[in-house]
Amino acid sequence: SIVMSFMTLVSFAICAEATQGPFLMKFLFLNVMLTLLVALLGYLLYHNVLKLQNENKVLMDEELQIMRTLQLNKEQLAAFVSLVGTENSERQTIMLLDAIGLKAKANLFRVVHRYLLEEKIQLPMIKNA
C-alpha cells in the first residue's frame, strides 16, 4: 500500500505540474495528507492482520496439544469443558460424560477417586491437629 500511495502522489504531482491548473494545486496538500493517511492505515492493518494470524496459529497449536494430551476430539473437549466449567444437572452430567468417551470417562473417574481418597486421609489428620 505504501508503494501504491507513493505512485498516486507522484502521478498527482506530475499532473498538477503539467497542467498548471489552479484546482489541482489547491488540493495537492489535501491529496498528499489523505494518501499518506491511507498508506499508514493500510500498513497498520497489514501488521495487525499478521499478528492476528500468528495468534490464531498459536491458539490452534495449543488446542491440538491439549487434544493430543487428553486424547479427545473437539466435541469431546467441548463436552469436557462444559462438564468442569459449570454446575450441571444429573442428566446433563450423564450426557456430558457419555460425550467424552469411555477412556476419558475412566481416566476422569480414576483421578476423582484418587482425589477423594487423599481428602479422606487428610480429613482425620486435620481434625486431630
Please write the tens of the pLDDT for every residue from 90-104: 777 777 777 777 877
**Residue 129 pLDDT more than 70?**
no
Tell me the whole-structure pTM to 2 decimals: 0.54
pLDDT digits (tens, 9 = 90+) for 35-84: 889 889 999 999 999 999 999 999 999 988 887 877 777 887 777 777 67
Cell of 61: 497449536
**What are the φ and ψ backbone dihedral angles of 49, each rounded to 5 degrees?**
-65, -40
Q: How far apart are CA 9 and CA 28, in angstroms?
A: 9
The pLDDT score that the predictor gives to residue 59 is 93
Cα 19-23-25 angle, rounded to 5 deg: 70
Residue 127 scores a pLDDT above 70? no
Q: Higher confidence at residue 125 or residue 22?
A: 22
DSSP annotation string for 58-70: HHHHHHHHHHHHH
